[in-house]
Chains A and B, each alone.
Chain A
Amino acid sequence: MMKEKLIGALAEALEMDPMQINEEDYFRDYDNYSSLSELSVLAMLDSEFGVEIEMKEFNDYITVGDLIKLASKRSKE
């Protein structure tokens, strides 16, 4: 459930097709990932998953799977 929701939200933030997004992808390597679209990703995590984290922590998340774990953890809290 969380996997589909996060991938859908990430696709929207990065203006991508959800089909192009896989759990093991390094999301910062997507062509659409830039310093501008990073703001959309941060905004999406905050507004849709209640994720409020320091950038230092965010920078440790590398794959789409990491973001799914982050979102699942926060929504349980």
Chain B
Amino acid sequence: MGLLSFKNVGISGMSAAVPRHAINNFDHNQYFSKDDIRDIVEKIGVKERRLADEKTCSSDLCFAAAKQLISGMNINRDEIDILIFISQTPDYRMPATSIILQNRLKLPTSTVCLDINLGCSAFLYGLTLAYSLIISGGVRKILILDGETRSKVYSQKDRKTAFLFGDAGIAALIEKDNKYGNSWFSLNSDGSRESLIKIPAGGYRNMSSCETVKEKVVDEYGNMRSDENGYMNGADVFNFVIREVPKDFYRLIDYAGTDVSTIDYYVFHQANSYINGFLAKKLKLIKEKIPLTIDKFGNTSSVSIPLTIISELHNKLQDHKRLLLSAFGVGLSWGTALIDIDNCYIGEILEV
């Protein structure tokens, strides 16, 4: 079924951290001609991106965001009962990064910690899980930390992905409060499309070896990557998204029994501006209601939805607002959510 609804639970505060190092996407890459780069960058709409240095992990960006959230909202650490870390770029294959963050953030050892390993759709899954756990009773506050250093995943010599991804981390606090009212989620998965976005090696199906780190020419265009780099079949993903995301959008609106006129903002996963522009047009949405950050942060995978809320709606969420969230990506995994925000604390975006 994949449809869920909740009552009186919501996001009470959010903050974000991005790497200090901003790059101009038009002149960062030395492997392609200026003309090729301009064509690609104009189509995907990523003018700037933030790149984490070698030493900075997703968890470090989340740690900075979390510290700011805790001090900015004056949160009692002992009331954080659960920490959920969302990422596909964790510190290690084991242990779970959420547990390392429990210690770094000086949360009590009674904190429930777990990692969610999903990509672009993951913030919606994190919210659904957090909302469910709050509703189960007994849980006071849940800290969601969502971070990605996707720029480290993709080859700089593969034009399909070299210009797309940026790095960022966010922290969000989930609490119970009657002011939030109802929220609705639709979540979906299609494992038959697992190969469309993939890092083939480095797991246990195809373990790391001298072979897996070798860079190879992979197509007739001369793109190069290793099996430890990410791969994306852009046309197949695009074709899937423009077909399925609108369907899920309407499915959720129907399930919620509401009208699109009640929605204040539509926050889409920032995939690339071509796909986002197409979705907005196909769904006949008003431009002014669609905040965008693809131009300055690129595609930050699971972080892009909360980062866009923090960056673009920070001064617009003081009173009661309804947001539609739409996320889609690797898995393939996709979902839509309708949530209400009410006087949400939003921290300044930190540069780390």
Q: Tell me the A residues contacting B by CB distance below 8 Å.
A: 35-36, 38-39, 42-43, 46-47, 52-55, 58
Contacts and interface: CB of A to CB of B under 8 A. Distances in A.
B242 interface: yes
Contact of A35 (B235, B242, B243): B235
A54 B221 contact: no
Contacts of A55: 235-236, 239
A46 B159 CA distance: 25
A58 B239 contact: yes
Contact of B235 (A38, A46, A47): A38
Interface in B242-279: 242-243, 274-275, 278
Interface residues of B, number: 18
A54 B39 CA distance: 26
A4 to B, nearest CB: 23
B281 A54 contact: no
28 contacts: A35-B234, A35-B235, A36-B39, A36-B40, A36-B43, A39-B234, A39-B238, A39-B274, A42-B235, A42-B238, A42-B239, A43-B238, A43-B242, A43-B274, A43-B278, A46-B243, A46-B278, A46-B282, A47-B278, A47-B282, A52-B242, A52-B243, A53-B239, A54-B239, A55-B235, A55-B236, A55-B239, A58-B239
B82 to A, nearest CB: 40
Interface in B219-242: 221, 234-236, 238-239, 242
Nearest to A36: B43
B160 A35 contact: yes
Interface string B25-42: 000000000000001100
A52 to B, nearest CB: 5
Contacts of B234: 35, 39
A43 B282 CA distance: 10
A38 B239 CA distance: 10
A35 B8 CA distance: 46
A55 B160 CA distance: 17
Given A35-B234, A35-B235, A43-B242, 20 more contacts: A35-B221, A36-B39, A36-B40, A36-B43, A38-B235, A39-B43, A39-B235, A39-B275, A42-B238, A43-B278, A46-B243, A46-B278, A46-B282, A47-B278, A47-B282, A52-B242, A52-B243, A53-B239, A54-B239, A58-B239
6 cross-chain pairs, A with B, having the tightest CB-CB distances, nearest first = A55-B236, A52-B243, A38-B235, A39-B238, A42-B239, A55-B239
B218 to A, nearest CB: 12
A46 B238 CA distance: 11
A42 B39 CA distance: 18
B210 to A, nearest CB: 30
A24 to B, nearest CB: 23
B169 to A, nearest CB: 30
B289 to A, nearest CB: 20
A67 to B, nearest CB: 15
Contacts of A58: 239
Contacts of B274: 39, 43
Contacts of A47: 278, 281-282
Contacts of A36: 39-40, 43
Given A39-B234, A39-B274, A46 B242 contact: yes
A54 B168 CA distance: 33
B36 to A, nearest CB: 10
A42 B278 CA distance: 11
